[in-house]
Amino acid sequence: MAANPECLDTMQSSLLKYTGHMGADAQLAAEKDTFDSHLGALLQKMLLTAINEYESSTPTYRKAKKQELVVLLSSLVTFCVQFLQNSGSNRSFASLNTLNKIIDTGLVFDLFTVPDTVFHSSRLLNRTHDFDACDDLDETNSTVDHVFFYGPPASATPKKEQSKRRPDLMSALSAIEPSFVIAMLHNAITMQNREVGARS
């Protein structure tokens, strides 16, 4: 089913729907490892199918297929993060590996949308200001708080357009809390060190 591009939407919605129930029945370490490897294979097959679908698209449909790929990858990022949060101390190699592959895919196919930095300053736009005068150092009238805006100004886009924004990969990844990522990576390294020590 993961090899069929028409089934990817259904699979991604089902993954998100049943994230909390996955892997909860596995009691033994061998069952958790088996579940983790099967989940990793499923996620990898979904990624490969979406990438192949995008690469095989004609130039006419390239933009639409790129948006479909971004939507799927954003959904998989959400799934992997939710799975990592719900799995606790279970093995989480499949999710971490999938997140790594999603980032690689985003870099290879240029899927990350980075907003333009727009520079606004009333002092620079106001041509009547005398920049050589030092008598206006009053901090209460400072415009430093309003110097940088990321993306277009809020008034430039209508509210309907803002609420119906398409998901993008950068916002999906930036929604992850850094402390959570650091804790998960620390736990993964610790678990790997314990397994390597147990084998020695």
What is the DSSP-derived secondary structure letter of residue 139? G
Residue 20 lies in a domain: yes
Residue 79 lies in a domain: yes
What is the DSSP-derived secondary structure letter of residue 2? T
Residue 137 lies in a domain: no
Over pLDDT 70: what percentage of the chain?
A: 66
Which pTM does this prediction carry? 0.67
pLDDT in tens, 23-32: 556 566 667 7
Residue 126 lies in a domain: no
Per the structure, the complete domain to which residue 99 belongs is given by: 5-118+147-199
Averaged pLDDT of the chain: 76
Residue 89 lies in a domain: yes
Residue 132 lies in a domain: no
pLDDT over 90 (residue 65): yes
pLDDT band of 21, cuts 50, 70, 90: confident
Query: Quick one: pLDDT at residue 86?
Result: 77
Residue 133 lies in a domain: no
Residue 139 lies in a domain: no
Query: Quick one: pLDDT at residue 31?
Result: 76
pLDDT in tens, 115-172: 666 555 555 555 555 555 555 445 455 444 444 444 555 555 455 544 466 778 888 8
Q: How many domains does the chain have?
A: 1
3-class SS letters over the chain: CCCCHHHHHHHHHHHHHCHHHCCCCCCCHHHHHHHHHHHHHHHHHHHHHHHHHHHCCCCCCHHHHHHHHHHHHHHHHHHHHHHHHHHCCCCCHHHHHHHHHHHHHHHHCCCCCCCCEEECCHHHHCCCCCCCCCCCCCHHHCCHHHCEEECCCHHHCCHHHHHCCCCCHHHHHHCCCHHHHHHHHHHHHHHHHHHHHHHC
Query: Quick one: pLDDT at residue 149?
Result: 47
Rounded distance between C-alpha atoms, residue 113 and residue 168, angstroms: 7
